[in-house]
Amino acid sequence: MPQAVLLDRDGVINADSPNYILTPEQWQPIPGSLEAIARLHQAGIAIAVVSNQSARGRGMLDAVTFTAIHDKMLRAISSAGGALQHTAYCPHAPAANCDCRKPRPGLVKQALHACCVRAEQAVMIGDSLRDVQAALAAGVRPILVESGYTDATAVAKEARALCPGLEVYPDLAAAVACLLD
């Protein structure tokens, strides 16, 4: 069992959109995701969110609204009995070429440090190829979920080419059930 689970946000915890999550009202948890986070928390596993949020860098989302979305997520997780040890967001646009934007490993390494775990003690659950790439670049075992808005079959095929034994689950609840049961 891992000592830490790192989670992408959009498409893993909440429903994602190709048009971004730009208001608190648009942030809606994926069924079972909050309960899955609570199960991890109750099992004593550190949980961190590592998420690209380029809408900030693109000027589509101001700091106040971003904080309101984040606070809504935290309240929902807490209401379900869960808690996060750490959250790490990349607010940069893709053109910024920063180390924190997945598929680069900056956010993952930051979360590992905050959770006081080594890479081999953690797993990262994401819904995109860049999540798998970031996990691999940081030495963390990736797990893919199919609950994002993209073509899950195509993403899984491409991700398995990078990581042949990659575990793929329908959603966070199924992935956590496998980790804990």
C-alpha angle 105-89-45 in degrees, rounded to nearest 5: 75
Active-site position among 10, 16, 127, 131? 10
Residues 6+ apart with CB under 8 A from 29: 13, 14, 15, 76
For residues 159 and 24, what is the distance between their CA atoms, to the nearest angstrom?
31
Distances (CA, A) of 166 to 34, 46, 53, 127, 160: 24, 22, 25, 12, 6
Cβ neighbourhood burial of 26 (10 Å; 0-12, 13-18, 19+): middle
Contact between 88 and 49 (Cβ < 8 Å)? yes
Cβ count within 10 A of residue 10: 21
Distances (CA, A) of 68 to 88, 142, 157: 16, 29, 36
10 is catalytic: yes
Active-site residues: which are they? 8, 10
